[in-house]
Amino acid sequence: MQLVKIYECLCDETRLRVLNILAQGPLCVCHFQEILREPQVKISKHLAYLRSRGLVECERQGNWMIYELPAKPSRELRTNLACLQDCAREHPAFQRDLARLQKLAPKLAATGPCGCATAKPAVR
Amino acid sequence: MQLVKIYECLCDETRLRVLNILAQGPLCVCHFQEILREPQVKISKHLAYLRSRGLVECERQGNWMIYELPAKPSRELRTNLACLQDCAREHPAFQRDLARLQKLAPKLAATGPCGCATAKPAVR
DNA sequence: GATTCATATTCCTTAATAGGAATATAGATA
DNA sequence: TATCTATATTCCTATTAAGGAATATGAATC
């Protein structure tokens, strides 16, 4: 059942945090590292997990992998992501992540979702 | 995180079916067996799992254990159960279970949620 | 008190998952 | 071509979960 696969994705805190952040827009792995403050392996693996089950999509952009929520999510996925948003609003942990994302906003505006310290603007 | 515990409960098909049925009202284990057509151990264990995480409550009534959704669910739980309801509406498996529940309706009306074949009415 | 009925628990095996350390890869750059 | 950067994968270990067979428990009944 597709629904079970969705819930399997949702039953890990790191993945919930990832999805909460992605609700704001696409992002690259190094930014997840910065916001979540978790080691690269951990983030990369959880993103792979989410990807294998269709909860995120990704696209390479130079050295960076940009992850984002599916362009055409199923009704079930849409419903559950909305539900997660609803629940996340209350949680300090999620709020904190969004605050950190905000701090990156200027950088993101300048360089796009892969705007890491060393990154050149996507459009030269 | 409480939210993760909820999702852990939701990532098994049997448990989803149980919760879907419980949304209609309290029920005893033997009725779950009848509706889900799964062995007793399996159902009993999943109910214990749900109970240990606060997704269901139960109460003994003679020989029967009556399970039901929490009287005072947290906001998160309420939100997620509503979301599940929403998703379940589409799924044949869930519909089938509800249809089977409907077939038991007359019996339930006569004997309450523990109205198994041999059960006496709850109120004598 | 012995039996029966509904349900729970234990024991076992198997499979899935998480996390970290180390290593591999793909693209960009020198 | 060699190197660097961002990210992915492999290998390992520990934990958790699922399912079934057998058994235990608690309440009711004989």
Q: B91 in contact with A at a CB cutoff of 8 Å?
A: yes
Nucleotide closest to B62 measured between CA and C1': D27
Q: A93 in contact with B at a CB cutoff of 8 Å?
A: yes
Please give the Cα distance from B13 to B30 (Å, whole number): 18
Give per-residue pLDDT as tens, A29-74: 999 999 999 999 999 999 999 999 999 999 999 999 999 999 999 9
Give per-residue pLDDT as tens, B86-121: 999 989 999 999 999 999 887 777 777 776 544 443
The candidate with the shortest Cα–Cα distance to B42, out of B4, B12, B70, B87, is: B12
Rounded to a whole number, what is the largest CA-CA distance in chain B?
Answer: 45
Q: B110 in contact with A at a CB cutoff of 8 Å?
A: no
A4 closest CB neighbour out of B1, B3, B12? B12
Give per-residue pLDDT as tens, A67-109: 999 999 999 999 999 999 999 998 999 999 999 999 988 777 7
Whether B117 sits with its Cβ under 7 A from any strand D atom: the answer reads no
User: What domains are there in chain B, each with its CATH number?
Assistant: 2-106 (1.10.10.10)
Q: What string of pLDDT tens digits covers the 124 residues of chain B?
A: 899 999 999 999 999 999 999 999 999 999 999 999 999 999 999 999 999 999 999 999 999 999 999 999 999 999 999 999 999 998 999 999 999 999 988 777 777 777 654 444 333 2
- Measured CA to CA in angstroms, residue A12 lies from A32, A118, B2, B77, B88 at distances of 16, 31, 11, 16, 22
What residues of chain B lie within 8 A of the CB of A11, using their CB? 4, 7-8, 10-11
Is the CB of residue B66 less than 8 Å from the CB of residue B26? yes
* Residues B55, A14, A108: CA angle, nearest 5 degrees: 135
Amino acid at A116: C
Q: Protein A7 CA to nucleic acid C18 C1', in Å?
A: 17
pLDDT at B60: 95
Strand pairing category for B27-28 and A57-61:
unpaired
Distance (Å) from the alpha carbon of B81 to chain A's nearest alpha carbon: 10
Q: What are phi and psi of A90, to 5 degrees?
A: -85, -20
- Amino acid whose CA is nearest the C1' of D20: B41
Q: A92 in contact with B at a CB cutoff of 8 Å?
A: no
Please give the Cα distance from B116 to B57 (Å, whole number): 20
Q: What are phi and psi of A54, to 5 degrees?
A: 80, 15
| Burial (0-12, 13-18, 19+ Cβ within 10 Å), A63 | exposed
